[in-house]
Structure 1
């Protein structure tokens, strides 16, 4: 039996009463667990199954090569983000995003603490925090653009150059990228609301170039509608 602390990225109902959890843990990185009996009528902890909820698990090791089983778990933090429609939409989008791009990641405390920081920002009603967070993840993964003197970001090479190579990476969007990458306080940078859709689109384009097998999250359309 061992203890794990992790963020719930996704969960799938298995059979009548059980679930399979995909989490990013402080101790082991991305991990999948089997949770027995969570959907029984008497189990009130099914309410804890919320995207990006921070949980502490007691885990039993299975047979060699088999999935570990959660014997018990508790919620560590209670946030208002799940009752705020904008924040809740962002949470679903980011959990979908992370469940995809962290799937092969082992222990990474910088990623783990960045998720914590992002949730705090979102809880403080920083509704552009997901845009900053996605670029911070690129920096941690070592694929963020390299700073240069150019005014236009080339998404394919990840460099700033003197002329535009992609219509969405105009000088304005490119300046947002450069400011976030170079800032000591990126969450303090303000991206005007009318510009956020284009900026998010530019982030998705960049991920397609630099993250293998990246797919656009299904929740993209919802988050774009919420922030129109």
Structure 2
């Protein structure tokens, strides 16, 4: 069956000599993996392979076969051409990091149009920005809305936040209760629009500390979440 859908590339791995296996988050079917035969052959390298960079946004026509773990793509074209996401070292580090997080967290093979639109619009916004050093922090925090564990903000005036249960608390309750700079940054980011991100000023140390907290938050709420290997590269670039 031929299906037309938009898709965002989450990961790619080489398979045999000339093939790629590409995992995408699609608008119509959620997470889908594709086998791209012969895409690494030299005569095709400059055309097809350029479409499948991390977090690239595509229009694809897939030949869907029921009960197959790997689908095939009949045709692909870019749905959006990034202006700076791949040419800036800093943005490329964020792209690599977020792609790894998304590949790790998005599992559902079903349509979620809200989530797809969130990924599409925020990545396009990011592409146009000159100030973006805190983008990944708000991106990950808002992603938890779609994954089902966004912090409960009803009592955000309380002096502690428990990353184990996602609640604000009046007193420290164990090792997962946070306060200080990380709590202050969390309260600033909750409900913030992306176009207000430039108002938050963080040192590289504060940014890394908050990111570590967010990743631990993911680990506590997603049983199979693994700390991204690209985290070290991201921290080095923004150090």
Confirm or deny a common fold (TM above 0.5): yes
Distance in 1 between residues matched to 2:118 and 2:66, nearest whole Å? 33
Quote the offset at 1:118 in angstroms. 2.3
**CA distances 1:125-182 after superposition (whole Å, capped 9, x unpaired):** 3221111010101012220111213121111121111234448822321122223223
1:175 aligns with 2:184: yes
Number of the residue aligned with 1:26: 27
CA RMSD of aligned residues (A): 1.8
Q: TM-score, normalised by structure 2?
A: 0.88
Number of the residue aligned with 2:133: 127
**CA distances 1:25-83 after superposition (whole Å, capped 9, x unpaired):** 11111111111221111112212221000011111123643522112211121111100
1:82 aligns with 2:86: yes
SS in 2 for 1:160: strand
Q: TM-score, normalised by structure 1?
A: 0.92
Asked if structure 1 preserves the Cα contact closer than 8 Å seen for 2:161 and 2:177, the reply is no
**CA distances 1:184-216 after superposition (whole Å, capped 9, x unpaired):** x25514141332111101101111111121110
Q: Within 5 Å, give how 1:2-17 maps onto structure 2.
A: 2-17=3-18
Distance 1:40 1:117, change over 3 A: same
Distance in 2 between residues matched to 1:63 and 1:219, nearest whole Å? 34
SS in 1 for 2:72: strand
Distance in 1 between residues matched to 2:217 and 2:69, nearest whole Å? 36
Asked if structure 1 preserves the Cα contact closer than 8 Å seen for 2:5 and 2:61, the reply is yes
1:159 aligns with 2:167: yes
Query: Which range moved further: 62-71 or 15-24?
Result: 62-71
Number of the residue aligned with 2:122: 118
Distance 1:66 1:114, change over 3 A: closer
Q: Structure 2, unaligned stretches of length 5 or more?
A: none
- The correspondence for 1:217, drawn from 228, 234, 239, is 228
1:57 aligns with 2:53: no
Distance in 1 between residues matched to 2:125 and 2:61, nearest whole Å? 28
Q: Structure 1, unaligned stretches of length 5 or more?
A: none
